[in-house]
Amino acid sequence: MGQNERVPSLLLIEDDDAIRTALELSLTRQGHRVATAASGEDGLKLLREQRPDLIVLDVMLPGIDGFEVCRRIRRTDQLPIILLTARSDDIDVVVGLESGADDYVVKPIQGRVLDARIRAVLRRGERESTDAASFGSLVIDRAAMTVTKNGEDLQLTPTELRLLLELSRRPGQALSRQQLLRLVWEHDYLGDSRLVDACVQRLRAKVEDVPSSPTLIRTVRGVGYRLDAPQ
């Protein structure tokens, strides 16, 4: 609970002055500490100087774009990232999710929605139970919030970790995308199931022996996903 009392620090990367100012104003009012950057390069520099808890990243940026910034951060860091996208470009969402974003918010952005998403993402890192479970070579330590595979620590983002935790809590049981959206992302009934698909994809890349033929996180056609212990 101690984490909640600490004021979360955010890094907002947005090139449009008006939007940046307005969002900074709105988010500060919601009780966040906000650092801002006007370009991807500045944002990455700022990220190295001060470690924020979360990054709010605009997709359309001059110079290196949001996707590239996202990819660069993911190379070294499991920091939660929320994308600001224009829904006109459905492809944007897919590319954004594939480049490693945890969630996205569509412009024009309502401050409250963004705030809710930020809080939901931050909550994913919280620990709640104190047991461990193992699935073959994969060991999930819920107390330490760590996942090891063959004894090696896996670097999971809070979202990936939360997804794995939710799946591991009900082993062998299929969870629909909508269920997972509610459990992991805390989205309402209109959640975008692509978030789940993209996150499962990334998670498989980290936990499966052969990500293209998964043995742990299985797809249940027409329903969703299921965590199986390998036979």
Which of 128, 131, 130, 147 is closest to 139 using CA atoms?
Answer: 147
Note the residues at the interface with other proteins (CB under 8 A): 16, 18-19, 21-23, 25-26, 29, 86-91, 94, 98, 107-112, 176-178, 188-190, 192-194, 197-198, 200-201, 204, 210-214, 218-219, 221-223
CB nearer other proteins, residue 129 or residue 231: 231
Nearest distance from C-beta of residue 2 to other proteins, angstroms: 28
| 152 half-sphere exposure, CB direction, 13 A CA radius | 6
Measured between alpha carbons, how far is 214 from 136 in angstroms, rounded to an integer? Answer: 13
Closer by beta carbon to other proteins, 70 or else 198: 198
The distance of closest approach from Cβ of residue 139 to other proteins in the complex, given in angstroms and rounded to an integer, is 22
Q: How far is the CB of 164 from other proteins (least distance, A)?
A: 16
How far is residue 173's CA from residue 167's CA, in Å, rounded to a whole number?
8
We find the least distance from the C-beta atom of residue 158 to other proteins, in angstroms, to be 20
Helical H runs in the chain? 2-5, 17-29, 40-49, 66-76, 90-98, 111-123, 158-169, 177-180, 193-207
SS3 call for 56: strand
**Closer CB to other proteins, residue 151 or residue 222?**
222
- Dist CA 68 CA 39 (whole Å): 12
Supply φ then ψ for residue 190, to 5 degrees: -105, 20
Indicate the residue among 25 and 143 with the shorter CB distance to other proteins: 25
Q: For other proteins, which is the closer residue by CB, 21 or 134?
A: 21
Q: Taking the complex as a whole, how short is the minimal distance between the CB of residue 9 and other proteins, in angstroms?
A: 19
